[in-house]
Amino acid sequence: MGEDKRDPSDEGREEPFFKPLEFNFSKWSIGGKLIFISTLIAILSLLLPWIGGDAEAEMGFLQGASVFLALYIYPFFILAQDKRMNRAIGVLSSILAIVLPMTFLYYMSRELRQPMSDIISYGLIIFILAGILLIIGVLRYVPYDRERGTLRKEETPKRGKPCPDCDNPMEYEEEWERWFCEECDEYK
């Protein structure tokens, strides 16, 4: 009465929607590490002043800057769950993590009637730099496979699935998460 053990092949392996959060820093891809580091930097930036000039130079989170941290939630949770990232959502979040603080700066400069260069303070600059790291991290992120203890890309070369129309082996394009058939010259 042995257990029915199947080959752990990636095809058809169902992923639970929500996995426990785990922090396997040393196992993560360079992209994963960058996401983690940029999130920490972004959080720390809130302890520094964001807007200076004639305004009271208070810590960023007292100046309402913590809302921008919401843009880190998606990449950070994908990382902490070792899941596949939807590149479009990840890139959009990280671009907004740069653009929205700049919009905030612009708004504050009109509010205070001072040029942006006079009122920008360390916290805001550091948050924007963290956003740049976040974009790089999102683009280079490769999920860690907890069951196998390796990065997924190395372990599962995604090729060879036959095309449903012409039976030619297709290539898996990691970036777009879609299969491509060279014979048909189209995505499947």
Contacts with Zn ion, residue ranges (CB under 5 A): 163, 165-166, 168, 181, 183-184
| Between 24 and 168, CB nearer to Zn ion | 168
- Of 132, 142, 134, 151, whose CA–CA distance to 177 is shortest? 142
| Between 132 and 184, CB nearer to Zn ion | 184
Q: How far is the CB of 184 from Zn ion (least distance, A)?
A: 3
Q: How far is the CB of 180 from Zn ion (least distance, A)?
A: 9
- Of 126, 51, 135, 129, whose CA–CA distance to 87 is shortest? 135
Going by their DSSP bridges, the two strands 186-187 and 178-181 should be labelled as: antiparallel
Q: Which residue bears the tokens 């169902």?
A: 14
73-80 and 87-112 helices, crossing angle to 10°: 150
| Between 42 and 181, CB nearer to Zn ion | 181
Q: How far is the CB of 83 from Zn ion (least distance, A)?
A: 29
Q: How far is the CB of 188 from Zn ion (least distance, A)?
A: 7
| Between 136 and 163, CB nearer to Zn ion | 163
| Between 103 and 168, CB nearer to Zn ion | 168
d(CA 45, CA 56): 17
| Residue 108 token pair | 């504050």
d(CA 104, CA 60): 12
- Of 59, 58, 61, 130, whose CA–CA distance to 97 is shortest? 130
Q: How far is the CB of 173 from Zn ion (least distance, A)?
A: 14
| Between 57 and 184, CB nearer to Zn ion | 184
Q: How far is the CB of 159 from Zn ion (least distance, A)?
A: 14
| Residue 135 token pair | 């974009």
> Distance of CA 110 to CAs 75, 105, 114, Å?
32, 9, 7
